[in-house]
């Protein structure tokens, strides 16, 4: 269950005065003759299985300062240890912890492996880690009954490792790993399914509440906004010893997978090479009531009876029906403009309510508040950009849908997290008319115009391992504006595997020492590895964004 990382004997130096350190095992006597005690960091005992594999993974944290003599600290905490200076472009580099780092029983999953991983990240010079805190775990059994014990134990581990902590407050659930909403909320949903989003066929999305109930007393007499606020207040009180010191930022969950969006893709087939356009999520009784009210106020009551009748289904392409056709589509009609304005404004209002709540709760704390905006790049090269429209962003060839979103973040003094910074246009199938680079530029331009700080995430570390690190470095270089924070997703078995970890190590070095020539950077050696190092059991580690 532990991460086993053995130092390579083939040590290289960048310069004679560089400090060089190797991760190793105390009991690996084979290496004791060639590695001095000052150059090794002992992380644990290797398993017999891994010794048989002969896995050796070198991790070098290269410093430009002269190496100092090793000193033994008398402080039981590593929090006071000096951390590596920030890279030239000012970005702070964090790594996400496993999504299921805390179990449903509120214990720390694979604690030994996480502890070793934290030491490895500290050695590399990573500034901190991101921790998802799940509503369905911390307030599992009854409204107002909070249990943060597992998360507090993790926060203490992070503090002792000398790392900072970014917390994501997750008021949503996940399918994989299975993390549901609180049990008391799902019991309410069994009797009142309209608390969830619904599509036109009646398919419910049960991993977050419909934004239409934000201010309705549907949770045992309380509104979701009131319940979220109580949760945030309890979190703030429980973690007071870490706020203003270890905890540097709070991300507020804004919808499915934590992102500001409708769950417009939840009925899609995951095996499609070309994604469909998704479906509008406006058919629960509370959303329909808001639509009806808006239509009557606009003088067109018949427009409020339903969503667009000629929109495609989840897996269909834009041209398969009338609404999203590039030329002559209903999206350009007066009705289309009416509906898309209403649909997108409901999403923006929901985001404003949650960001305002978080900003208010943490106003007296020295932490920044963040929210995530998705990068919905398929079909961006069409005029209608339907995947963005069904998700709630009224962004077309003729209309910028992100300035209003940036203004909402600016109004609440919050920062934007943008995923997909590892994606490039040429690596995606051309049939989907995708352009993640163009969309990322558009969103960043809107944020820059409104004075909103931008942070980033990668879409998948498996994609990054295939060449996205260069794209990441380009997006973090500042050419499109500065990036405040970058959260790399996500610690787990694959993250520490020989197929991935050496590339991540080289990426970190390139961020912290961009002035170095490629020839000056030593290669990682992975010798005799036949499989990745296990982070935990197969069910224990997952890579999705929280």
pLDDT band for 86, please (50, 70, 90 cuts). Answer: low
The CA distances from residue 405 to 260, 290, 446, 513, in Å, are 10, 21, 9, 35
Tens-place pLDDT, residues 324-341: 999 999 999 999 999 999
pLDDT of residue 50: 38
Residue written as tokens 């058919």?
283
pLDDT at 11 over 90: no
Mean pLDDT of 294-317: 96
Question: What pLDDT is stored for residue 461 in this prediction?
Answer: 64
Number of domains comprising the chain? 1
The whole-number pLDDT of residue 400 equals: 97
What is the pLDDT at residue 515?
52
Six token digits for residue 389: 């429209």
Say if 109 falls within a structural domain: yes
Q: Is residue 44 part of a domain?
A: no
Residue with the larger pLDDT of the pair 467 and 75: 467
pLDDT at 109: 95
Is this prediction's pTM over 0.85?
no
Predicted local confidence at residue 73, as pLDDT: 36
The predicted pLDDT at position 213 comes to 98
Whether residue 333 is contained in a domain is answered as: no
Tell me, what's the pLDDT at 10?
32
Average pLDDT over residues 146-167: 98
Is 418 a domain residue? yes
Q: Look at 28-42, 88-102, 426-440, 515-529 and tell me which has the smallest mean pLDDT.
A: 28-42
CB proximity list for 104: less than 8 A, separation 6 or greater:
136, 137, 140, 179
- Answer whether residue 370 is part of any domain: yes
Return the CA Rg of the chain. 24
pLDDT attached to residue 87: 55
Rounded average pLDDT over 504-524 = 66
Q: Calculate mean pLDDT across residues 490-502.
A: 93
Closest CA relative to residue 512, chosen from 44, 14, 58, 89: 89
Residue 255 lies in a domain: yes
| φ, ψ for residue 236, nearest 5 deg | -60, -45
- Structure confidence by residue, pLDDT tens digits, 417-451: 999 999 999 988 889 999 999 999 999 999 999 99
Q: Is there a contact between 331 and 376 (Cβ–Cβ < 8 Å)?
A: no
Helices (H) and strands (E) in the chain, counts: 15, 14
User: 59 versus 432: which is more confidently predicted?
Assistant: 432
3 state DSSP class of 405:
helix
Answer yes or no: is pLDDT of 395 > 70: yes
DSSP reduced 3-state for 158: helix
Would you state the pLDDT for residue 382? 97
Query: What pLDDT is attached to residue 532?
Result: 34
**Per-residue pLDDT at 89:** 63
Q: Is the pLDDT of residue 255 over 90?
A: yes
Residue 525 belongs to some domain of the structure: no
Taking residues 216-226, report their average pLDDT: 98
Residue-wise pLDDT tens digits, 29-49: 333 333 233 333 333 333 433
Percent of the chain with pLDDT over 90: 70
Q: Is 264 inside any structural domain? A: yes
Mean predicted confidence (pLDDT) in 478-485: 83
What CATH number corresponds to the domain at position 252? 3.20.20.80
Beta strands in 408-491 (DSSP E): 415-418, 454-457, 483-488
What was the pLDDT predicted at 463?
74
User: What is the pLDDT confidence band of residue 514, given thresholds at 50, 70 and 90?
Assistant: low
Greater model confidence, 111 or 77:
111
CA 117 and chain centroid, separation: 18
Q: Which domain holds residue 103?
A: 92-275+349-512
Average pLDDT of the chain is: 82
Nearest to 456 by CA among 489, 414, 495: 489
């Amino acid at each position: 269950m532990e991460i086993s990382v053995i130092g390579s004997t083939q040590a290289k130096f960048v310069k004679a005065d560089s400090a060089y350190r190797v991760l190793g095992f105390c009991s690996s006597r084979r290496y004791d003759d060639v590695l001095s005690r000052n150059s090794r960091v002992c992380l644990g005992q290797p398993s017999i299985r891994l010794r048989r594999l002969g896995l050796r993974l070198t991790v070098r944290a290269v410093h430009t300062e002269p190496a100092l003599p090793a000193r033994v600290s008398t402080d039981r905490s590593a929090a006071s240890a000096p951390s590596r200076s920030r890279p030239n472009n000012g970005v702070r580099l964090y790594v996400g912890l496993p999504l299921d780092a805390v179990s449903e029983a509120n214990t720390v999953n694979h604690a030994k492996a996480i502890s070793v991983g934290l030491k490895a990240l500290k050695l590399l010079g990573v500034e901190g880690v991101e921790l998802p805190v799940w509503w369905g775990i911390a307030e599992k059994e009854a409204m107002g009954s909070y249990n943060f014990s597992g998360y507090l134990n993790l926060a203490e581990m992070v503090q002792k490792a000398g790392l900072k902590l970014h917390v994501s407050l997750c008021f949503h659930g996940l399918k994989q790993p299975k993390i549901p909403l609180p049990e008391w909320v799902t019991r309410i949903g069994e009797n009142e399914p309209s608390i969830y989003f619904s599509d036109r066929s009646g398919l419910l999305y049960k991993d977050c509440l419909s934004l239409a109930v934000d201010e309705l007393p549907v949770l045992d007499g309380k509104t979701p906004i009131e319940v979220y606020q109580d949760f945030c207040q309890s979190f703030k009180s429980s973690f007071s010893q870490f706020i203003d010191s270890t905890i540097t930022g709070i991300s507020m969950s804004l919808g499915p997978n934590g992102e500001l969006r409708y769950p417009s893709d939840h009925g899609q087939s995951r095996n499609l090479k070309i994604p469909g356009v998704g479906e509008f999520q406006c058919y629960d009784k509370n959303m329909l009531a808001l639509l009806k009210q808006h239509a009557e106020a606009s003088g067109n009551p018949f427009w409020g009876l339903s969503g667009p009748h000629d929109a495609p289904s989840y897996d269909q392409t834009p041209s398969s029906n009338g609404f999203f056709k590039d030329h002559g589509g209903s999206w350009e009609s007066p009705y289309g403009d009416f509906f898309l304005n209403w649909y997108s404004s409901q999403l923006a209002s929901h985001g404003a309510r949650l960001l305002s709540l978080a900003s208010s709760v943490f106003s007296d704390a020295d932490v920044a508040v963040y929210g995530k905006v998705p990068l919905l790049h398929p079909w961006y090269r069409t005029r209608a950009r339907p995947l963005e429209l069904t998700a709630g962003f009224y962004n077309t060839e003729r209309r910028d849908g992100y300035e209003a979103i940036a203004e909402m973040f600016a109004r609440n003094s919050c920062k934007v997290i943008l995923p997909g910074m590892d994606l490039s246009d040429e690596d995606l199938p051309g049939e989907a008319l995708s352009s993640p680079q163009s969309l990322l530029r558009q969103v960043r331009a809107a944020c820059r115009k409104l004075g909103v700080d931008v942070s980033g995430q990668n879409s998948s570390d498996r994609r990054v391992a295939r060449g996205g690190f260069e794209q990441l470095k380009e997006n973090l270089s500042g050419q499109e504006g500065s990036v405040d924070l970058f959260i790399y997703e996500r610690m787990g078995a694959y993250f520490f595997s020989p197929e991935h970890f050496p590339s991540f190590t080289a990426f970190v070095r390139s961020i912290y020492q961009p002035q170095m020539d490629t020839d000056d950077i030593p290669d990682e050696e992975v010798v005799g590895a036949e499989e990745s190092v296990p982070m935990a059991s197969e069910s224990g580690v997952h890579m999705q964004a929280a």
